[in-house]
Structure 1
Amino acid sequence: MVKFLVDQIIIFSNQHLNRQNSYFLITRKYPYEVQQINLQRLDKAWKRWLIPDKTGKRGGRPRFKKSGKLRSFCFSRVNHPKAVIKFDGKQIITTRFGAIPVIVHRPIPDGFTMKTATITKKADGYYVSFTLEDKSVPSLISTENIKTAVGIDVGLKEFLTTNTGETVSVPSFYRKSQSNLARKQKKAARKEIGSNNWKKAQNRIARLHQHIARQREDFHYKTAHKLVKEYDMIAVENLNIR
């Protein structure tokens, strides 16, 4: 019964989208596929709330997003004849905004096909990420060719400990930035909510949080790269911590 109601909600939403675009001119400015993907996101959110998973848990009730709170939107087609967004290696070309130069983080590998594009607004600007498809499947190393192996245990006191006794300490990036974060939050608290100075102060706080998140991400990548480079097989303890 619940699944039937969810399916009826998404069908009604698609029908409502067609009528909405015929009544309101402002919605015609946005690509239809972007609006459809937003409806798919809404459908997944309702299903996570109404239908429990295998463990019996359910997600939180979807909340209404105010204007400016939706920070990302997705295009379902890239470099397609009917796509509204294209990428030529140096810039993205949209039917509404024209050509937008971008800083390419890494080139698109040969043989990969771009499927979707997601534009996300972050504290320091806008980012576009592509979903790529590679039909080739890499071959795994057989157990006979494994020369080096290691077992790791992730803990709270130490970030991880290997079976050889090597430890990686917790970097504590957030704790090191707490005093700086407190100063920025105090300055923001003195501003009038909604003013331009308040928005600038909030952006400085968001940039600091983004810096901390990037520090953690960089630490995780470097730690994982070091392990993968040194060992052919890595065993991780499977814990169900509650």
Structure 2
Amino acid sequence: MLLTYQYKIKLLPEQEIMMMQWLELLRRHYNYCLGQRFDWLSNTRCSIDRCSLVSEPIGEIPSQFPNYNFQAGLLKQTKELFPEYKDIYHDVQQQNLKRLDKAWDRWIKPDKSGKRGGRPRFKKVGELRSFTFPRINCAKAGAHINHGILKLSKIGEISVIVHRSLPDSLVLKTCTIVKKADGWYVCISAEDETVPTPKPIDTIKTAVGIDVGLKEFLTTSDGEVVPIQQIYRKAQNHLARQQRFLARQEKGSNSYKKQQNKIARIHQRIQRQRKDFHYQIAHQLVREYDLIAVEDLSVKNLARNSKLALSILDAAWSQFITILEAVAVKCGVHIVKVNPHNTSQDCSGCGVKVPKALSVRTHCCPKCNLVLDRDENAAINILIKALQAVGLIASAGGGLVRRQPVKPEAWGFQGVQLSLF
């Protein structure tokens, strides 16, 4: 399993200037190589039955597509024409081309489901904010970290704030330097071979189904609820006020850049608070249950076709499920995704479909007279589907072990402002 450890670094002024220069040169080279690929595409593609009224490419048709190997072979020529590229470590330039190659392949080649990524774009000034050393702590590596000191080739030694030590059992893979709104960070990717294997299905003792929503962040099949935070909604007015201040500044001035960074810090704080909240919920669930059932939601489509798009994106259900899966893998807990079709409409007691509008928050079954909260009924249905998928039998209450409902205060999130600052 690949893990990423992120640490803040303290740079000297000359080191920061050098890194900013690296990012700008890498951005220009990225755009030039992307333009090479687009030129080859336009010179070798045209309509069969018509010509453009504006322009048509003329000249020799390139014999070779400018792929990664072709463009990496031209790095020596680039350094001769532009000597400033000699100051950049060669592995970093190759990784920059590999990043372009991946973006191009996502656009040209469809994935297993037949979908393709968006067309690669030219990067504006300041849009490229990271560069990667592909090897760390080995003989030919350009990056070495030891006792809180990061040594980068052609940059020098950098002090690292090691708030959490790197385990000795990890195999270090790559080192990425990232520029964020509040400073510079180093992201160390490592492989952990000590990940526990998931528990056998027969040994599962506790299971739960969770239904995410906007009234409550999630409701479990045991009746527990976690209140929604609405982190972006709470900061929305403050963010809008700061954006109005930015609109009054002269574009490109020092005050404009200062206000721009202030807005970026607000977005960063919102992101960190949301992620911290998701991690706390994920760890709470993984500690209590051996199997967790969730809906296989297409959040992008939900947000696209809903008037509540901003609230849906603020809840960030996809990010939460991704975090929950990562935490579960490290703890050997099973995560089962089920089809969300009719989980809110079907009765968890007798299985009869009970149509109801979104505004109706209580499930009332006319056949078995079951009266239950709408979200809890959906969570029980999700759990039943998951247990059937893995070959287990659900109890009458919808789970393997029925627990007493717990008040929201037991989760520790009622009225608490989460922050990393």
Instruction: Tell me what 2:230 maps to.
Output: 172
Q: Counterpart of 2:165?
A: 107
Query: Could you give the per-residue CA deviations for residues 44-70 of structure 1, whole angstroms, max 9, x where no partner exists?
Result: 111111122233322111111234321
Contact 1:6 1:47 in 2 (8 A): no
Q: Hey, what's the Cα distance between the residues in 2 that align with 1:12 and 1:38?
A: 14
1:226 aligns with 2:284: yes
- 1:59 matched to 2:117? The reply is yes
Give the letter for the 1:11 counterpart: N
Larger radius of gyration: 2
Picking from 123, 126, 130, the partner of 2:188 is 130
2:151 and 2:298 map into 1 onto residues whose CA distance is: 47
In structure 1, what residue type is equivalent to 2:99? Answer: R
Partner of 2:348: none
The residue number in structure 2 matching 1:146 is: 204
2:269 is matched with 211
1:194 aligns with 2:194: no
Q: Give the Cα–Cα distance (whole angstroms) in 2 for the partners of residues 97 and 208 of structure 1.
A: 30
1:238 to partner: Cα distance = 2.8
Residue 88 of structure 1: aligned partner: 146
d(CA) in 1 for partners of 2:115 and 2:201?
A: 38
Question: Aligned match of 1:22 in 80, 83, 86?
Answer: 80
Identity rate, percent: 53
Counterparts of 1:7 and 1:87, CA distance in 2: 39
Distance in 1 separating the partners of 2:74 and 2:66: 12
Contact 2:89 2:153 in 1 (8 A): no
Distance 2:262 2:296 in 1: 39
Specify the SS of the correspondent of 1:129: strand
SS at structure 1 position matched to 2:135:
coil
Cα RMSD (Å): 2.0
Q: CA-to-partner distance for each residue in 1:159-208, whole Å, 9 max, x for gaps? A: 21111122222210001001111111111111110011100000000000
Q: Distance in 2 between matches of 1:240 and 1:183?
A: 33
In structure 2, the gaps of 5 or more residues are 1-40, 42-62, 302-421
Using the alignment, how far apart are the partners of 1:105 and 1:154 within structure 2? 33
| Alignment length (residue pairs) | 239
Q: 1:95 to 1:10 in 2, by over 3 A?
A: closer
Equivalent position amino acid for 2:289 in 1: Y
Structure 1 unaligned segments of length 5 or more: list them: none
AA aligned to 1:129 is C
The 3-state SS of whatever aligns with 2:114 is: coil
Pair 1:35-2:93 in alignment: yes
